[in-house]
Amino acid sequence: MSAADNIATILSSGARLTVPLAFAACGEYVAQRAGTLNISVEAMMLGAAFGSIAVASATGSATIGLVAGALVGVAVAFVHGILSHRVQINTFVVGLVLNALVLGLTSYLITVSTFTGHQVWQVDIPVLRDIPIIGPMLFVQRWPVYLLLAVVPLTWWLVERSRWGLELRAVGENPQAADVSGIEVNKRRRQALLWCGLLAGLGGAYLAVGEVGSFNQNMTAGRGYLVIAAVIFGAWRLGRTLIGCVVFGLADAMRLALPALGVTMNSQLLIAAPYLLALLAMLVFATAHREPRALAQPFQRGTT
């Protein structure tokens, strides 16, 4: 293989590995702007990955599986929203419990069930795919990748231009002020979480029925935490958050490609590489920027 082919391979696989992160990051971004530092994004992705394969296997349709995965994400978000923004349980505790619960549940269920593999269809645009280096990355991908191209501007528009987004930002900055302006703070936060669940679900489902075609135990392997890191790395701006996802995706692709390129390294160490990179990136970029002022602060009317 030529060097150009190698680069094309790494870029293409980097793009594919970025997709689940980018889906989920669009969701996590919204949740955090509304003031929820949502760590159950890992549970949303893992649950969705399992759900998508289970439903795809049952119905024979990977697309229905993908939709089912998104709904699993929404379900996790719903539980999280009720527990932390209605019953007012500490959001980190809820997130940790959900992550552990979904990991245990899916690990058990996969041992007692057998699923057939399914994958959503691939878009393969002739001529364009033959463009050197970037051709395979941009024009040979499974279809949800192109859905992502719609989700990103939609997320931006929702947060920056819609009234819902304005209220969301207000809630994340100063819930008391939002409350006296007549905005239902906890309702907005629950809604933001649902959007997060939908997109994290799509991301997790894509990992299973898009990328791999099957489910294995703990297949997200902490990608949800990378998503949180990406939002922090992105200083709570969507564009930079997505750049963070691309960086982490490429790091992941490098890890997979290195052995094929003849570089021998301890594989466990390589698995740690993207996380190490996330830590370094946050150390360098995240300190100077301003987070939503009420991030991770619960709201209850009557308390100040």
Closest CA to 301 of 182, 192, 191, 193: 182
Give me the residue label for tokens 């932390």.
84
For another protein, which is the closer residue by CB, 113 or 181?
Answer: 181
CB of 165 to another protein, least distance (A): 9
Q: What is the 3-state secondary structure (H, E, C) of 202-252?
A: HHHHHHHHHHHCCCCCCCCCCHHHHHHHHHHHCCCCHHHHHHHHHHHHHHH
Stretch 283-302: interaction string toward another protein, x if CB under 8 A: -------x--x-------xx
For another protein, which is the closer residue by CB, 142 or 189?
Answer: 189
Q: Give CA–CA dist 184/276, Å, rounded.
A: 39
For another protein, which is the closer residue by CB, 11 or 294?
Answer: 294
CB of 36 to another protein, least distance (A): 17
CB of 299 to another protein, least distance (A): 13
For another protein, which is the closer residue by CB, 146 or 157?
Answer: 157
For another protein, which is the closer residue by CB, 169 or 223?
Answer: 169
CB of 304 to another protein, least distance (A): 9
CB of 34 to another protein, least distance (A): 13
CB of 188 to another protein, least distance (A): 12
Count of residues in contact with another protein, rule CB under 8 A: 21
For another protein, which is the closer residue by CB, 183 or 212?
Answer: 183
Q: Which residues, 157 to 196, sit near another protein by CB under 8 A?
A: 161-163, 166-167, 169-170, 173-174, 176-183
CB of 85 to another protein, least distance (A): 17
124 SS3 class? strand
Q: Which residues, 124 to 163, sit near another protein by CB under 8 A?
A: 161-163
Q: Give CA–CA dist 301/98, Å, rounded.
A: 26
CB of 284 to another protein, least distance (A): 20
User: Which residues have C-beta within 8 Å of that of residue 75, sequence separation ≥ 6?
Assistant: 47, 197
Closest CA to 76 of 103, 96, 48, 104: 48
For another protein, which is the closer residue by CB, 114 or 163?
Answer: 163
Q: What angle do CA 90, 85, 295 make, to 5 degrees?
A: 65
For another protein, which is the closer residue by CB, 215 or 299?
Answer: 299
Q: Which residues, 249 to 288, sit near another protein by CB under 8 A?
A: none
- CB-neighbour burial class of residue 304 (10 A; exposed 0-12, middle 13-18, buried 19+): exposed
33 SS3 class? helix
303 binds another protein (CB under 8 A): no
Q: Give CA–CA dist 286/163, Å, rounded.
A: 28
State the number of CA atoms in the 13 A half-sphere of 129 facing the CB: 11
* Residue ranges in contact with another protein by CB under 8 A: 161-163, 166-167, 169-170, 173-174, 176-183, 290, 293, 301-302
